Structure 1
Amino acid sequence: MTTTSGLFVFKDSGVPEGRDPNSYTTVVVVHGYVWHGAIFSKLFSLAQSRGVRIILLNRREYPGAKPYTPEERALLPPVLDTPPTDEAELRSGAEMLEMFMQQRARELYDTLQELVVERQIPPADKDAQAGGIILVGWSLGSAWMNALLSHVGSFPVGEVALKGYIRRVIWYDTICFLLGYPYPSHDPYNPLWDSSLTYEERGRVFTGWVTAYFSHGDTPETFERRKWLKTPPSTLATMSKDDLESTVHIPPGVPGGADWILLHDLHKYDVFRRLKEGALYLSDDPHKKSGSGGEPRAHVGDEWRDVEVRYVWCDHSVWEVPYAVYLLREELDRAKKDGGSVRRMTMSRLKGANHFAQWDHPAATLESFLTNTVNQDVDVSDYKA
C-alpha cells in the first residue's frame, strides 16, 4: 500500500493473534541506503511469538513508493567536488536541504497518522511501557528520525495526537557521518569517499566492507578501519543472489540518485549535524535553533518532549559506529555539565553484531528495539540465529 504521503508499506505483520488488540506494541521501520524494507523481513517470523506488530516502510524512490516530484528534486543542490565556501551559497543550500528534509519529516508524520487511524494501532501505555509505536530508523534512515524530531513541534496535531502513540524513537546503527560528526584526522576511511576508485568500484568495495564484521579496540585510534574478520563471514557472503536482489534497490544510491545526492549534500552543507541537534535538544535549549537562520523554531504542535531516543549500535559494525558512540557520549556529557535541555537518550549495544544484525541476528535485534531495560548490552549469542 502506498500511503497518501508517498511512502510505501512494504510489509505489515498485522495484529498479533491471541493478544489484546488494544495493547500490543507496533514497530515501524524506516530503511537505510540502497537496502530497502525487505532487509528487515526476517523480523516477521518473530512477530507472533513476541506479540508485536511490525510494519516496514519504503522511503520515496524505493519500490512501491512515489518518486520525488521535479519541484522536490529542485531543493537538492548540485553535488560539488569540494564544499562551497561562499557564505550566501552555503546558507541558500542549507535552507533548501532543510526544507527538503522538513517535507520528508511531514510525510513520515502524516504516514504515522494514517497507520494509526486506518490500522487501528493502539496508543502507548507509558506507565506499563507497552503498546504504542517504536519507530526505528536504520543507518541513513536515522536522518528521517532526526528530521521528524526536529520539526514535529511545527506540525499541527492531526486526527490523532501522535504524542500518545510514539513510545520510542531509535537510531539503529547510525554512523558518525550521518549524525554530523566530523571524521577524525587519523585514517578517516570509507570506500564511498575513496577517490582512487571509480564509482562502480566504490559501490562494490563498500558493499563488501559495510556487510562485514570488525573487531575494534576501546579507543578511536584502535577502531579497525579496513581489515574485517574472516569469521563470522560477512552478511553479503551468506546471502543468496535472490536474497540480495530482493533487498537492494540501486537507483537512489548511484550518482544522480536522491540518496546519493543527500549523502553528499547533507554533509557538505552541515545539515546532518543540524538535524541531529534539532532532534537531541529541546526547544528551550540554546542548541535548538533553525539550521540556517539561527532563530528558534516555531511550535504549533507538540515536540514529543517525553519520547525516548535510543541509539542501538552494533559493536562489530564498521568503525564509524563505535566512533559515533564515542562522540555522542562526549556531547551528552557536555550538555549535562552545561545544564542543557536534552531529550531522554539511552543506548543499547548489540554485542557481536554487524551493520546487518536484522538479517544475521533478527531475534537479538528485535529484543534491542523492544527491551525496556535501558543502557544494556544485548548479546547475539544468547539468541538463536
Structure 2
Amino acid sequence: MPLAPVDDHGSVLYYEDTGPPPGCTVYKTLVLVHGAGFHGASFRRMIPFAAEHNLRFIIPNLRDYPGSTPYTQQELEELRGPSREQQEKALRARASELAAFLQWLIQIGDIPSAHDSSDGSTTGGIALLSWSAGNCQTMALFAYADQLPKETRKLLDAYLRSYVLYEPSLASTGGPVPAGLQAIKAVREPGMSLDDLNAAFSTSVSAYYPPFTFPHAIDPLPNYPPRVALHEQSDHVDHRLTPTTTRMSPEELRETVRAEVVDTFGSQNLLRKLDPAIYKANVERALFDRRFAFGDALEEVWPALRVHVVWCDMSVGDCVWASVLLHFRHAAADVEWRRPMTLHKLEGANHFVHWDDPERFVKTLARII
C-alpha cells in the first residue's frame, strides 16, 4: 500500500498512482484531491481514460480517510479552537502536509518537470485538482506558500503549473450565499443516525438541480427562489438525472464514503466550520495577489501557476455560488498581480460529473491543464 510521509510525527497519506502512460516519457501529472466524506476512491472511474490523454493520476486520501493517518485529539482540538489563531495554525498544518506530499512525489516518483513551449503550451509538470471541500486545504497550500521552506517553494516552482478548483465548496471561499441556493444537508439533527445523516448529505450533494446561470452582479445579493432538486420535483425524472449516490451500489458507497468525518464533531465538519474570514483571506492570498512579504521585500511565489475553476450548471447551489464569488472577486482584483484564472462550465452536469461522465471530465481536464 503506497504511503507518503507528510510530517515529522509519522503521519502518512495513502495514495493511488496510475503510473506514467505506457510508452510516454513526457506527460502531465494530475494530483486529484477529494472532497468531504467521499475520498479518493470516488475518482477511480476516471482512471481508464488517463493514458489516452497522456495523463498520470495520483490520488491521495487526506488525513482521517482510509489508509491515511487519523487526526490526533490535539489536532482535532486545534481545528475546533475558539480563536482564529488556533484555527489558522491547524489549517497551516494541513497546507504543510500537502506541500510535503507533493515534494515527496517529486523526489521519489520520477515525475517530469514542467517545460513551457514556444507556442505557450506546457509539457510535464503537476496540476493540482481539488474537489469541493478539498479546496479548504489546497487553498491553504497557496495562501501560506510563504510559510514553506525556501527549498520546497523552489522545487514546486519547477513542477507546479495548474491549480484546478473543481466545484469548490462555499466554505472554501468564505462567502455568503443567497438563501434560495442553499441545499447541502450536512447537519445532524437530534435523533438522527449517522447513516441517515450520510444519506441526506450524499443525496443532496449529488442531486441534479435546474441549470444555473451566473448573475450580472452580486452586490447586493440576488434573490433566488428555492432551487429544488429535480428528483424532488417529479416522480418521473429521467433516471440519469436522479442523485448520483442513489444509483451507486451499496458496495460502491462503502468503497467511496467515510461518513464519520462529516458528523457533528468529525474532522471535515470542523474544517467546514472554521472562521469564514480565514477562508476569505486565504482566497485573497492564494489567487488574487501572488506576491508575499519576505522581510521588507515583496516577492512573487509560483508566478507561472494558472488557475482554473470548473463548475457544473446542474450542481448543488452552494458550489455554483462559490464559483460565482470567485469570478467576481477575481474580476475586482489587481490585474497586474492576480493569478490568471479561467472559468469552465460543464453543461448538464452535477457535482459528481467525474463519476457520472468520467470520459468527458478527463477530456476537459486534459484540455485545460
Q: Which TM-score bucket, shorter chain as reference?
A: 0.7 to 0.9
Instruction: Please tell me whether residue 107 in structure 1 is matched to residue 113 in structure 2.
Output: no
The alignment partner of 2:127 has SS state of strand
Residue 353 and residue 76 in structure 1: after superposition, are their counterparts in 2 closer, same or farther (change >3 A)?
same
Cα distance in structure 1, aligned partners of 2:308 and 2:324: 15
Task: Give yes or no for contact 1:13–1:54 (8 Å, CA) kept in 2.
Answer: yes
1:334 to 321, 332, 335: 332
Letter in 1 for 2:244: T
Is the contact made by 1:213 and 1:316 (CA closer than 8 Å) also made in structure 2?
Answer: yes
Measured after TM superposition, the shift of residue 187 of structure 1 is: 6.1
Deviation, 1:235, is 0.8
Equivalent of residue 207 in structure 1, options 202, 210, 220: 202
Q: How does 1:101-140 map to 2 (within 5 A)?
A: 101-127=91-117, 128-140=121-133
Shift of 1:40: 0.1
Of the three residues 256, 261, 266, the one matched with 1:247 is 256
Give, in whole Å, the separation in 1 of the partners of 2:278 and 2:362.
Answer: 30
2:285 — aligned with what? 278
The counterpart of 1:32, out of the listed 35, 47, 62, is 35
Give the structure 1 partner of residue 84 of structure 2. Answer: 94
d(CA) in 2 for partners of 1:120, 1:300:
33
* 3-state secondary structure, aligned to 1:251: helix
Task: Tell me whether 1:350 sits opposite 2:346 in the alignment.
Answer: yes
- Deviation of residue 245 (structure 1)? 0.5
2:138 to 142, 145, 155: 145
Which of 21, 31, 34 is the matching residue for 1:16? 21
SS in 2 for 1:161: helix
Bigger drift between 207-216 and 224-233 goes to 224-233
Alpha-carbon deviations, 1:243-291, whole Å to 9, x = none?
Answer: 1110011222212211111112244xx222122222112254xxx7xxx
More deviation in 215-224 or 6-15? 215-224
Contact in 1 for aligned 2:290/2:300 (Cα 8 Å): no
| 1:171 pairs with 2:165 | yes
Q: 2:364 aligns with which of 364, 368, 375?
A: 368
Question: Map of 1:168-317 to 2, 5 A cutoff?
Answer: 168-186=162-180, 188-193=182-187, 198=192, 200=194, 201-218=196-213, 219=215, 221-222=223-224, 225-229=227-231, 230-231=237-238, 232-267=241-276, 270-282=277-289, 284=291, 303-317=301-315
- Given that 1:146 and 1:278 are in contact with CA atoms closer than 8 Å, whether structure 2 keeps it comes out as no
* Structure 1 position 69 matched with structure 2 position 72: yes
Aligned to 1:81: none
Local SS of the residue matching 1:136: strand
CA distance in 2, matches of 1:178, 1:223: 24
Distance 2:212 2:349 in 1: 15
Structure 1 distance, partners of 2:166, 2:289, is: 21
Aligned partner letter, 1:250: A
Q: TM-score, normalised by structure 2?
A: 0.85
Deviation larger for 1-10 or 124-133: 1-10
Structure 1 gaps, min length 5: 79-88, 289-295, 374-385
Task: Give the C-alpha shift of residue 194 in structure 1.
Answer: 8.2
The aligned amino acid for 1:144 is: Q
* Distance in 1 between residues matched to 2:299 and 2:33, nearest whole Å: 23
Q: Give the AA of the match of 2:202.
A: T
The code of the aligned residue for 1:117 comes to Q
Within 5 A, what are the aligned runs for 1:373-384?
A: none
Q: How many pairs are equivalent? A: 344
Moved more, 56-65 or 315-324: 315-324
- Gap change, CA 1:68 and 1:354, over 3 Å in 2: same
Q: Which amino acid aligns with 1:35?
A: F
Residue identity matched to 2:367: T
* 1:176 maps to amino acid: L
Q: Per the alignment, do residues 301 and 362 of structure 1 end up closer, same or farther by CA in structure 2, a change over 3 Å counting?
A: farther
SS of the residue aligned with 2:59?
strand
What is the CA deviation profile of residues 319-356 of structure 1, one whole-angstrom value per residue up to 9, with x for unaligned ones?
122222322222122225xx562111111112211111
Q: Which runs of 5+ in 2 are unaligned?
A: 216-221, 232-236
Distance (whole Å) between structure 2 residues aligned to residue 44 and residue 364 of structure 1: 12
Q: Identity, % of aligned pairs?
A: 28
CA deviation string 1:46-104 (max 9, x = no partner)? 122222110100000111111123332231225xxxxxxxxxx6xxx211111111111
The two structures have a TM-score, normalised by structure 1, of 0.82
Which is further off, 122-131 or 151-160?
Answer: 151-160
**Distance in 1 of aligned mates of 2:62 and 2:257:** 13
* Alpha-carbon distance between aligned partners in 1 of 2:107 and 2:155, rounded to the nearest angstrom: 11
Aligned to 1:59: 62
Structure 1 vs Structure 2 CA RMSD: 2.6
State the alpha-carbon separation in 2 of the partners of residues 179 and 197 from structure 1: 31
Please give the alpha-carbon distance, in whole angstroms, between the structure 2 residues aligned to 1:228 and 1:369.
27
Distance across 1 between alignment mates of 2:298 and 2:104: 20
Segments ≥4 residues shifted beyond 3 Å: 157-160, 185-190, 193-203, 219-224, 296-302
